[in-house]
Amino acid sequence: MRAVRLAATVATAAVLLAGATACGSKGGDTKSAADSTGATGGKDAAAAAAGLAADPKAALAASALVMQKAGNGKVAMTSPDASSPGGSGSADWKDPGKVSVDVSSDMDGKKLRIRAIGADTYIGGDDATAAALQGKHWVKVPATEEMGSAFVVMGQMVNPVSQLTIAAASGKLSKVGQEAVDGVQTTHLRAVEDTATLVAGMTSLTAEQRQSVQKTLEQDGKTLTIDFWLNDKQELVKYQEYGDTNGQSKAVTVKYSDLGKAEKIEAPAAGDLGAQADLLKLFG
């Protein structure tokens, strides 16, 4: 979604800043979707089967349940804007208060791995990193800093349960039609919603993070168009998001695959963490 490009933009801006200095009805609650999943249990399959034939609101709500049950998967994010890098890897959204992502991305011309687990973010992960960090592979970036906060936001924004739930509850919905995505037949649904509504629904973010998110999102417009592609199992296969100012040419795309099969995302070992003061070496 456009929200993913937001997080990437904020993160890139934070990196550049660091280099220069030496870096319901209005807004659904992701937790409510998780609670509903637990309550329905075996009803998930029936909800999924009925979803594609139902109205868009019911289809999106059913998909939120299916994605919550899956809990994790592979993600691939692409953007047409060079200043907003994409990335690919894994995400885990079982716990809406501690969404985790582990992706490889191109930031400021550097290939880096980003691992965000709840409020903690780690950057690095490969041999090139070790060469810059005296044998260590990761640097921890606190969520209290701008860059760390940006990746916490990204983790929340790739949470499909949150996005589906918010759209079902508050968006102006329509069914676009049947389309193939990577050879798989899908139902294409569209939600148009206020930027403020999307941000209000991100209840796992702090008030400061939501304020920052809304300010950045509104640079693309106060209205968002969000497209969802659901397969015949009611799984979210792909989505795109863009604002009314820049239009679809600036849309970010996120694809989901291998649902429920992603490996657990764990924090790097304490002994493999380099000094935070050396973070800029990764971008040098």
33-42 per-position pLDDT tens digit: 434 334 444 4
Tell me, what's the pLDDT at 132?
77
Domain assignment present for residue 138? The answer is yes
What is the domain extent for residue 65? 2-262
Which pLDDT tens digit goes with each residue over 126-151?
Answer: 777 777 788 888 988 876 666 666 77
Q: For all residues of the chain together, what is the average pLDDT? A: 77
Domain assignment present for residue 153? The answer is yes
Percentage with pLDDT > 90 across the chain = 32
Which pLDDT tens digit goes with each residue over 41-97?
Answer: 445 444 444 555 568 999 999 999 999 999 999 999 887 765 555 789 999 999 887
Helix axes 207-217, 2-20, angle to 10 degrees: 100
Instruction: Give every CB contact of residue 247 below 8 A, 6+ residues apart in sequence.
Output: none
Domain assignment present for residue 275? The answer is no
Q: Distance between CA 188 and CA 158 in Å, rounded?
A: 19
Domain assignment present for residue 267? The answer is no
How many angstroms separate the first and last alpha carbons of the chain? 30
Domain assignment present for residue 271? The answer is no
Domain assignment present for residue 279? The answer is no
Total number of domains in the chain: 1
Average pLDDT in the 223-237 region? 94
What are residue 270's phi and psi, to 5 degrees? -55, -35
Domain assignment present for residue 130? The answer is yes
Query: Which of 126, 151, 160 has its CA nearest to residue 254?
Result: 160
Domain assignment present for residue 284? The answer is no
What CATH number corresponds to the domain at position 105?
2.50.20.20
Residue 259, pLDDT above cutoff 90: yes
User: What is the pTM for the complete model shown?
Assistant: 0.78
Tell me, what's the pLDDT at 281?
73
Q: How confident is the model at residue 257 (pLDDT cuts 50, 70, 90)?
A: very high
